Structure formats: C-alpha cells, structure tokens
C-alpha cells in the first residue's frame, strides 16, 4: 500500500488488546475500517514512466489516507477524545515518557494508548503495567501507522469519552510524518543521544510538529549535543512549535509536558 516508501506492500497487520485474551490478525489490504468505505482502493495507473507512476500512486495512497484520517478525526471529536500522535526515531524514549506520564497523571487524565511496532508487544506490555488501556498494532514490514490501522485500533480499544488517546507511532523520522492519522496534535521526541542535526536532516518531521520534546537531558553532560543549534533549527522549520527539554528518567522538565497535555485534554466526564 505504501507508495511513498514501498514498505507496506503485502504487510500483515496484527491488532490485539492486552486487556483481552488472544489477538486478531488482519491483512493490510483487506481489513475493514470501523465505518470507512474502501471502494476507492488505488489501482495501478496506466503504463507510463516509472517516475510518473510512482508519483500518481503516492498521491492516491495519501489522498485515501487523508479521507480515512478525517473519519477518525470526526469519530474522536464526537466522543471528545484528544488524540496525540507521538513520533520519533527508535529509542528516543517514547515508551518511557508514556510510562511516567501514565503513573503521575493517574486520576487526573485518563490515557489510552495505541502502540505501533513492526513486531512484538514489549512496549504495550510496559504501557499496560503503567496503568493504561492499550492496543498493540504490529505492522510487519511497515515503517509507520496509517489512518486505516488506527481506525482498527480505535475499534478494539474504544477509548472512553473525554479521555486522551496517545498513538505511539513506529520509530522512524521519515514516513510517519507523511500520514495523517486523525490526530489533533503531533509531538516529536528528539533525544540528545541522537545528535542535534536531526531537524536539518529530517525537516518534514519537525515541520509538522506542534510540540518537540528534547528527551534524555540527564545525559547532556556525556554527549555532544548543541542545544542552541537544535532549538534554532526547530524554530526555523516550525516557528509555532513548543520546545520542551525533559528527562523521563529523572523527572526533570516533566511538569511542563504535563501542563501542555492538561491544557489540551478534554474536561473530565461527570
């Protein structure tokens, strides 16, 4: 399906809830959205130069995804659920951030999680242990979640009205930025261990960000990370993005992240 990178062609999507026994297998090309019509599944365009064919198929794939994302957005809005798309490279600290957030905001903000990985349920198991309702989506060879996968995750998870849904995307700084999932906010994690050059090397990801969390700041004394250069590059790409440094290990900077989340979270349902 993924014409932008070719990674998802024929991928098998596994969606299962850790709160329920067993799991469900879904073929990516055939699995049903909650209420979406797939009659517009893109077909191969007429014979032409490979470059033109790739561009046309990419446009069809992204256009279809955008339509499904809008249906997700409408579904979430009708239930007053805030959806946050959490993106980063592998190992930047998304799961550690969510674990601490779930524990420290317990009783204040109800958080559910759609966990995206190519394989296994290691992160989803950690998230569940932290007190969150969670659904795991395994993408097989796919390097990102898309709106159709998220729709299936929503069907299984059924996040409570007035809650926060965090979509922990597959670790990747390229393709996740291209696919709207129906979220209301995009949060990008940038670990100090990755180096300060990531906004320049992956501009589309940072250009889409509403919030950039600079993670693992407790390791700053031990790594070469130019905080001023990184901040300047982020602001040049996304002037309106909020930039927050934090450490989910020590807790430094976490209150600012919680405040950002609380301001956008729906009011608790009586």
The predicted pLDDT at position 31 comes to 39
- 78 to 71, 86, 264: CA distances (angstroms): 11, 22, 16
Which range among 14-28, 94-108, 126-140, 174-188 shows the weakest confidence by mean pLDDT? 14-28
pLDDT band at 47 (very low <50, low <70, confident <90, very high): very low
All structural domains of the chain with their residue ranges? 12-28+44-264
**Residues linked to residue 134 through DSSP beta bridges, in sequence order:** 113
3-state class (DSSP) for residue 86: strand
The predicted pLDDT at position 33 comes to 44
**Structure token pair of residue 189:** 């994690």
- Give the chain's length: 270
pLDDT band at 22 (very low <50, low <70, confident <90, very high): very low
> Sign of the C-alpha dihedral, residues 129, 185, 207, 114?
positive
Looking at domain 12-28+44-264, its CATH superfamily turns out to be P-loop containing nucleotide triphosphate hydrolases (3.40.50.300)
Q: Which residues contact 163 (CB under 8 A, 6 or more apart)?
A: 81, 82, 109, 110, 111, 112, 266
Q: Which residue has the higher pLDDT, 57 or 66?
A: 66
Residue 199 near residue 237, CB atoms below 8 Å: yes
Residue 73 near residue 182, CB atoms below 8 Å: yes
Residue in the structure block whose two tokens are 């600079």: 214
């Amino acid at each position: 399906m993924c014409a932008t990178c070719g990674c998802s062609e024929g991928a098998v999507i596994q969606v299962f809830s850790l709160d329920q026994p067993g799991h469900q297998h879904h073929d990516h090309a055939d699995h049903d959205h909650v209420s979406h019509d797939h009659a517009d599944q893109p077909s191969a365009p007429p014979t032409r130069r490979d470059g033109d064919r790739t561009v046309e198929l990419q446009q069809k794939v992204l256009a279809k995804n955008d339509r499904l994302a809008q249906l997700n957005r409408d579904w979430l809005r009708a239930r007053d659920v805030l959806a946050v798309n959490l993106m980063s490279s592998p190992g930047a600290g998304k799961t550690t951030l969510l674990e601490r957030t779930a524990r420290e905001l317990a009783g204040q903000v109800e958080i559910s999680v759609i966990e995206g990985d190519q394989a296994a349920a290691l992160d989803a198991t950690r998230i569940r242990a932290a007190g969150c309702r969670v659904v795991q989506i395994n993408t097989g060879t796919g390097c990102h979640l898309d709106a159709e996968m998220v729709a299936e995750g929503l069907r299984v998870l059924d996040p409570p009205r007035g809650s926060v849904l965090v979509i922990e995307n597959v670790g990747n700084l390229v393709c996740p930025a291209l696919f709207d999932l129906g979220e209301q906010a995009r949060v990008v994690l940038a670990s100090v261990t990755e180096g300060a050059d990531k906004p320049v090397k992956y501009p589309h990801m940072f250009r889409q960000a509403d919030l950039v969390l600079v993670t693992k700041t407790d390791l700053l004394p031990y790594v070469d990370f130019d905080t001023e250069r990184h901040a300047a590059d982020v602001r040049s790409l996304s002037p309106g993005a909020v930039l927050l440094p934090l450490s989910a290990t020590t807790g430094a900077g976490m209150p600012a992240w919680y405040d950002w989340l609380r301001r956008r979270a729906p009011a608790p349902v009586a």
